């Protein structure tokens, strides 16, 4: 309950900060757009007054926040659509891409992390793959993938299912390294803890020890990483959608930033803050369910 309040407070602060920050920018899309269209000064002033852009910032802020509570994020300055519609139209491709990529990245990352703890050839392969994933920027692996596979696979748009393969693989490879690193470090650390030594001296099979004793505890810190990585994926969406010429939230954000269309930028910021806060709540709760030590502490603290 306390955590939930804290999360709501964070989202509210993030919204407030971005609201006032974005109001500091001189000039906005409306003036620029009308200027280009040859509108007169009076017409621009009229349009601004109609949209309430001349009211004192506090009044605008109160109006905006009361809208947000009702799920209304205002209107785009240039696209003449409500922000919530614009985002809703583009939400599915981005969310699906992030979801597929993240699921693959978790499996791939944990697998690589386990592989990396081994000795010999497979260990070297695991560690090499981890290093590569961490050391290559998304926009480069993406470009390489396009260079290598553009002859065999469509890579742009969202209509054909084949066009999803490359973006998913590239994004998953990008997020996999961070997960693998945490998994690797934790397995190494947990291996030498006393309950593992007890399990080993009981004569349990190494694979059983790995599965039942080590992995359960060592993979817990992976959970919070997943929620941060998800945040990165949202940021990464800007790059992926540019790279692979896709429709989505990231592309909308970039276009809106360039056009100084604040209400849209603001709406996307709000969305991403909510998603990040929500995910960290969920991952915290999962960690609580999965680690017997955390539950024990909760029941036994005086």
Partner 1 sequence: MTRKIALIWLVCLCGIAIFGAMLAPYDPMTNHENAVAQAPSLTHFLGTDGLGRDVFSRLLAGAGRTLGISAFSTLLAIGIGGTMGIIAPLLGKFGDSSLVLVMNTLLAFPPLLMALILLTLLGRSDMALIVAVGISQVGMTAQVIRGVTRSILGEDYILGARACGARWWHIAWVHIRRGIAPTLGAQLGVVFCYCLFNSAGLNFLGVGVGIGVPEWGAMLAEGRSIFRTAPHVAIFTGLLLMSVVIAVNRIIDD
Compute the least distance from the CB of residue 205 to partner 1, in Å.
32
Q: How many CA atoms lie less than 13 Å away from 67 in the CB half-sphere?
A: 18
Is residue 156 a contact point for partner 1 (CB under 8 A)?
no
Nearer to partner 1, 140 or 296 (CB): 140
Piece in contact with partner 1 (CB under 8 A), picked from 40-48, 134-142, 156-164, 290-298: 134-142
> Among 232, 247, 281, 288, which residue interacts with partner 1 (rule: CB under 8 A)?
232
Give the footprint of partner 1 on residues 25-44 (CB under 8 A): 25
Q: Please tell me whether residue 82 adopts helix, strand or coil conformation.
A: strand
* Cα–Cα distances in angstroms (integers) from residue 135 to residues 139, 176, 231, 298, in the given order: 12, 12, 19, 40
- DSSP helix/strand/coil, 50: helix
Residue for token digits 């540019």?
242
Which x/- pattern over 189-228 shows residues binding partner 1 (rule: CB under 8 A)?
---------------------------------------x
Single residue of 185, 257, 281, 287 touching partner 1 by CB under 8 A? 257
93 or 142, CB closer to partner 1? Answer: 142
From CA 237, how far away is CA 133, in angstroms rounded?
A: 17
Q: Measure the CA–CA gap between 286 and 182, rounded to whole angstroms.
A: 17
Give the one residue of 33, 131, 156, 188 binding partner 1; rule: CB under 8 A.
131
* Interface stretch with partner 1, choices 50-58, 144-152, 196-204, 209-217 (CB under 8 A): 144-152
Among 91, 100, 139, 288, the residue binding partner 1 under the rule CB under 8 A is 139
- The interface region with partner 1, picked from 34-42, 106-114, 236-244, 283-291 by CB under 8 A, is 236-244
As a whole number of angstroms, the distance between CA 105 and CA 225 comes to 12
Mark out the alpha helices in the chain (DSSP H runs). 2-23, 29-36, 41-50, 57-69, 83-117, 120-135, 138-149, 165-191, 194-201, 206-208, 215-218, 222-243, 249-259, 262-290, 292-300
Which range in 44-52, 61-69, 106-114, 263-271 contacts partner 1 by CB under 8 A? 263-271
DSSP helix/strand/coil, 118: coil
List all residues 6 or more positions away from 51 whose beta carbon is below 8 Å from its beta carbon: 30, 75, 77
Comparing CA positions, the residue from 36, 176, 174, 44 lying closest to residue 111 is 176
Q: Tell me: does residue 24 bind partner 1 (CB under 8 A).
A: yes
Contact residues for partner 1, defined by CB under 8 A: 6, 9-11, 13-14, 17-18, 21-22, 24-25, 131, 134-140, 142-144, 146-147, 150, 228, 231-232, 234-236, 238-239, 242-243, 253-254, 257-258, 260, 265, 268-269, 272-273, 276-277
């Amino acid at each position: 309950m306390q955590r939930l309040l804290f999360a709501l407070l964070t989202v509210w602060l993030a919204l407030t900060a971005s609201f006032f920050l974005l109001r500091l920018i001189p000039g906005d899309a409306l003036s620029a757009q009308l200027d280009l269209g040859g509108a007169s000064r009076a017409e621009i002033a009229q349009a601004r007054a109609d949209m309430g852009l001349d009211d004192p910032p506090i009044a605008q802020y109160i109006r905006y926040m009361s809208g947000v509570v009702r799920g209304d994020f205002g209107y785009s300055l240039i696209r003449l659509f409500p922000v919530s519609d614009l985002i809703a139209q583009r939400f599915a491709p981005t969310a699906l891409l992030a979801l597929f990529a993240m699921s693959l990245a978790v499996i791939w990352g944990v697998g690589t992390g386990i592989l990396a703890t081994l000795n010999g050839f497979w260990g070297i392969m695991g560690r090499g793959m981890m290093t590569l994933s961490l050391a290559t920027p998304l926009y480069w692996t993406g470009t390489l993938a396009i260079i290598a596979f553009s002859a065999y696979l469509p890579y742009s748009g969202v209509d054909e299912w084949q066009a999803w393969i490359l973006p998913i693989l590239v994004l998953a490879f990008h997020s996999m390294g961070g997960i693998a690193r945490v998994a690797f470090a934790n397995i190494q650390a947990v291996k030498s803890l006393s309950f593992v030594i007890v399990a080993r001296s009981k004569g349990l099979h190494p694979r059983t020890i790995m599965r039942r004793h080590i992995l359960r505890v060592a993979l817990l810190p992976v959970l919070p990483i997943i929620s941060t990585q998800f945040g990165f994926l949202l940021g990464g969406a800007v790059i992926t959608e540019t790279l692979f010429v896709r429709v989505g939230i990231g592309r909308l954000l970039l276009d809106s930033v360039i056009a100084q269309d604040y209400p849209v930028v603001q709406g996307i910021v709000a969305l991403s803050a909510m998603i990040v806060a929500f995910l960290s709540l969920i991952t915290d709760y999962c960690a609580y369910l999965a680690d017997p030590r955390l539950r024990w502490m909760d029941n036994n603290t005086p």
